[in-house]
Structure 1
Amino acid sequence: MEFKAWFQCINPDCQNRYELTDIVYRCRECDELLEVQHDMSLLKKRSAEEWRELFESRYRRNEWPYGSAVWGKRELVCPNVDNENIVSTYEGGTNLFWAERLGHQIGLNDLWVKQCGMAHTGSFKDLGMTVLVSMVKQMISGGKKIKAVACASTGDTSAALAAYCALAGMPAIVFLPKNKVSLTQLIQPITHGVLTLSLDTDFDGCMKLVQEVCLKNDIYLANSMNSLRIEGQKTISFEIVQQFNWEVPDFVIVPGGNLGNVSAVAKGFQMFHDLGLINKLPRLVCAQAERADPLYRSYKKGFKTFDSIQAKTTLASAIQIGDPVSYKKAIRALQAFDGIVEEATESELANAVGRANRTGLLCCPHTGVALAVLEKLVESGEIKKEDRVVVISTANGLKFTDFLSKYHTGQIEGVQSDYAFSPIELSAKYEDVRKAILERIEV
Structure 2
Amino acid sequence: MLSNSTTPFTEILFDSRVGTTRWPYGSGVWSKKEWVLPEIDNDDIISAFEGNSNLFWAERFGKKFLGMNDLWVKHCGISHTGSFKDLGMTVLVSQVNRLRKMNRPLVGVGCASTGDTSAALSAYCAAANIPSIPIANGAFVLSIDTDFDGCMKLIRQITAELPIYLANSLNSLRLEGQKTAAIEILQQFDWEVPDWVIIPGGNLGNIYAFYKGFKMCEELGLVDKIPRLVCAQAQNANPLFQYYRSGWKEFKPVKANTTFASAIQIGDPVSIDRAVFALKNSNGIVEEATEEELMDAMALADSTGMFICPHTGVALSALMKLRRNGIISSTDRTVVVSTAHGLKFTKAKIDYHSGGIKGMDCRFANPPVSVKADFGLVMDELKNFLSRR
Determine helix, strand or coil for the equivalent of 2:49.
Answer: coil
Number of the residue aligned with 1:436: 381
Residue-by-residue CA offset, 1:369-413 (whole Å, 9 max, x unaligned) = 000000000000000000000000000010011111111111222
The count of aligned residue pairs is 385
Q: Take 1:282 and 1:406, find their aligned partners in 2: how far apart are those partners?
A: 36
Residue type of the partner of 1:406? D
Alignment of 1:184-199 (within 5 A): 189-190=135-136, 192-199=137-144
Question: 1:423 aligned to 2:382?
Answer: no
Matched, 1:64 2:23: yes
- 5+ residue gaps, structure 1, are 1-43, 175-188
Report whether the alignment pairs 1:342 with 2:287.
yes
SS at match of 2:237: coil
Offset of residue 425 of structure 1: 2.2
**Larger proportion of helix:** 2
Structure 1 residue 427 displacement after superposition = 2.0
Q: Please name the residue that 2:215 is paired with.
A: 270
Report the AA paired with residue 102 of structure 1. Answer: F
Please give the alpha-carbon distance, in whole angstroms, between the structure 2 residues aligned to 1:235 and 1:56.
Answer: 13
Flag structure 2 segments of 5+ consecutive residues without an equivalent.
Answer: none
Matched with 2:128 is: 168
- The whole-number CA distance in structure 2 between the counterparts of 1:147 and 1:80 is 23
For 2:83, give the aligned amino acid.
S
2:51 to 79, 92, 108: 92
Tell me what 1:126 maps to: 86
TM-score, scaled relative to structure 1: 0.85
User: What does residue range 279-358 of structure 1 map to in structure 2 within 5 Å?
Assistant: 279-358=224-303
Deviation string, structure 1 residues 298-348 (Cα, Å, up to 9, x no partner): 111221211111111111111010100000000000000000001111111
Higher strand share: 1
Which residue of 235, 242, 247 maps to 2:192?
247
Q: Aligned partners of 1:423, 1:46: CA distance in 2, in Å?
A: 59
Counterpart-to-counterpart distance in 2, 1:125 and 1:370: 17
**In 1: Cα distance, 2:38 partner to 2:98 partner:** 12
Map of 1:102 onto structure 2: 61
Matching residue of 1:397: 342
Contact 2:69 2:330 (C-alpha < 8 Å) held by counterparts: yes
Overall identity of the aligned pairs, in %: 54
Answer whether contact 1:354 1:418 (CA < 8 A) is retained: no
1:145 correspondence with 2:90: no
Residue matched to 2:172: 227
Counterparts of 2:228 and 2:51, CA distance in 1: 23
Q: CA deviation at 1:46?
A: 6.8
In 2, Cα distance between equivalents of 1:228 and 1:46: 29
For the 8 Å contact 1:124–1:233, the answer to whether it is kept is yes
1:211 correspondence with 2:156: yes
Q: What SS does the aligned partner of 1:271 have?
A: helix
Deviates more, 1:413-422 or 1:283-292: 413-422
Larger RCO: 1 or 2 (CA < 8 Å, sep 6+): 2
